[in-house]
Amino acid sequence: MITRQRLNAHAASVPSPIAAARALAGPYRPDRIEDPVIAWMQRGRTVLGLVAVAWLLLAYPLREGRQDFVLGKLEELLIGCAIVVVAGALGVGLCIALARAPLGRVYARRLGGPLLALGAPALGVGVIWLMTAALGGDIVSPSDVGPHDITFGLFGSFLGRVFTGLLIFLLFVVATLVCAVLLVAAVLFTLAALVIGLNGCFRTGDVHELMPALLSPLLVWSLFGFQLFDGPDVSAPPEVLWAFMLGGPVSVTALSLWEVRRLRSRYGITLGSLLGR
């Protein structure tokens, strides 16, 4: 007999979309050096950045509509991911090519983490496309099934077709609900995978601990340049906009320099050790 406690235990064992995205796109390597102070500082900077964004949106009106604002942020997210992917591929490729043996082969064996982080959003987009097509009737629809009688005439031709039609209708209702749930989960998973992957530089830290600290400033300053051409999101005074726009890149750059210094002083990880020199 299935009890309520067992049902709750089974439900709790099913990973949420956010947890699944964190497992695939979040940094992980068994022997990776993880400094709790660095992790705390990174989380603190992220929280302060979110608080600053919330304050800016509440204090000043949007320059465009809410829909344009959301689409603009999604565009910035995709641009940031593209920057990290290109820069990460070039950086990791140079490390593999220039590192002394056997470090090059070691870095190449660690590429599984970044590839998983890149594959997670692609998987989510694929599921979104599949569920959207299923809900739109592009894969199969009730009209494709046709008037059949699965009772083989046991209740008569008319009643058999009515029973078959009701059963097909119920099956399509259940399938629609399942596809809708999977679509929402896929959207949450994809967004979480993009955000987590972007914050972790798509697990390039699994290749070497210094990679995220080297890539993060490039990302934020590239986004800063994009914002210069795109224009501000809110109608705020110039001094507020400049302070807000420069606050992120300057703080991330300072945190990255401090992270490089801490990894060198505490764990002996230097730019020379990155290439085995």
Tracing tokens 């990791």 back to the chain, one arrives at: 92
Rounded CA separation 113/107 (Å): 11
pLDDT at residue 235, as a whole number: 83
Tracing tokens 């008319």 back to the chain, one arrives at: 158
Within a domain: 183: yes
Question: Six-digit token pair at 261?
Answer: 């210094």
Residues 125 and 167 in one domain: yes
* Mean pLDDT, rounded, for 96-120: 89
If DSSP codes are grouped into helix, strand and coil, which group holds residue 61? coil
Judge whether residue 1 has pLDDT over 50. no
Within a domain: 12: no
Q: Mean pLDDT over all residues of the chain? A: 82
Band (pLDDT 50/70/90 cuts) for residue 124 is very high
Number of domains in the chain: 2
pLDDT at residue 68, as a whole number: 77
More confidently predicted of 164 and 198: 198
Rounded CA separation 166/101 (Å): 68
Within a domain: 126: yes
Q: pTM of the predicted model, to two decimals? A: 0.80
Within a domain: 130: yes
Rounded CA separation 252/44 (Å): 11
Region at 137 (left for phi over 0; alpha for psi -120 to 50; beta for the rest): left
Question: Tell me, what DSSP letter sits at residue 147?
Answer: S
Domain-ending residue, one of 157, 188, 206: 206
Residues 202 and 136 in one domain: yes
Tracing tokens 């008569």 back to the chain, one arrives at: 156
* Residue numbers of the domain that contains 188: 120-206
Band (pLDDT 50/70/90 cuts) for residue 67 is confident
Q: Biggest alpha carbon distance in the chain?
A: 85
* Mean pLDDT, rounded, for 10-20: 68
Domain-ending residue, one of 161, 190, 206: 206
Q: Could you report the per-residue pLDDT of 131-181, keeping only the tens digit for each?
A: 998 888 777 665 655 555 555 555 555 565 666 667 777 888 888 899 999
Tracing tokens 């007999």 back to the chain, one arrives at: 1
Domain-ending residue, one of 206, 226, 260: 206
Residues 144 and 190 in one domain: yes
